[in-house]
Amino acid sequence: MRTKYKPWAKPYIESHPDVTILKEEYSSIKDVYLEIGSGKGQFLVGMANKFPSLFFVGIERNVTCSGITFKKLVEEDITNAKIIDDEASVVLTNLNDKSINGIFLNFSDPWPKKRHHKRRLTASTFLNEYKRVLKDNGLIYFKTDNSDLFSFSKEEFLNNGLTIIKENDHYLLDDDFDFETEYEANFKNKGQNIYRLVLKKND
């Protein structure tokens, strides 16, 4: 599902700098959760409304999707969620060690060609950064409709010292600490299976 380019998105983002977050702000926030690839913000906004005592940060490199999320956060006056329009690799590099409670990977790009597997958000290079920025016993929440990505990711997680604490190959949104994404609703309407893992960073 490609999002049609919206020329208003970039100027809107630039006019609302308060909706993004700076590196130094993380250390002053108690419970921070990161969503990598937040799309149009349905999950980010939903979680922020559902859990007002927690803080959620979305990363989205598509400027139009980021703009849509910015607009939702502004119009709904949400103060416990922010969005960063940048590459995940750049944002992660700038985060302090053990500064994040949990990371959400919702319907990430499957990069189906084998030569592109290193670009997957569950490849070892990314997992090393996740483990660095996660607090002790921090969690990774992973959802996908792609069975190949699920198998690949499960193997990568286990090979990189993460422990599976929940596994579901027919997930029905039955975990309270979750919210349905735009992709998830679309896939379920088409009768596609949703795969999910929750993983713990080992001490």
CA separation for the pair 21, 33 (Å, rounded): 13
In contact, 184 and 143? CB cutoff 8 Å:
yes
Q: Is residue 87 part of a domain?
A: yes
Domain extent, residue 49, equals 31-201
pLDDT for res 191 = 87
Q: Is residue 69 part of a domain?
A: yes
- Burial class from Cβ neighbours inside 10 Å (0-12, 13-18, 19+) for residue 142 reads buried
pLDDT for res 28 = 76
Q: What letter represents residue 50's amino acid? A: K
How many folded domains does the chain comprise? 1
Which CATH number fits the domain that encloses residue 90? 3.40.50.150
CA separation for the pair 147, 196 (Å, rounded): 10
CA separation for the pair 141, 56 (Å, rounded): 14
Q: Which position among 18, 109, 148, 175 bears the catalytic label? A: 109
Secondary structure (3-state) at 100: strand
Question: For the segment 17-35, what is each residue's pLDDT rounded down to a tens digit?
Answer: 889 887 667 767 889 999 9
Question: For the segment 147-196, what is each residue's pLDDT rounded down to a tens digit?
Answer: 999 999 999 999 999 999 999 999 999 999 999 999 899 888 888 999 99
Question: For the segment 60-103, what is each residue's pLDDT rounded down to a tens digit?
Answer: 999 999 999 999 999 999 999 999 989 999 999 989 999 999 99
Question: For the segment 1-10, what is each residue's pLDDT rounded down to a tens digit?
Answer: 567 888 999 9
Which pTM was predicted?
0.94
Quick check: is 109 catalytic? yes
CA separation for the pair 160, 157 (Å, rounded): 5
Q: Is residue 23 part of a domain?
A: no
CA separation for the pair 197, 168 (Å, rounded): 6
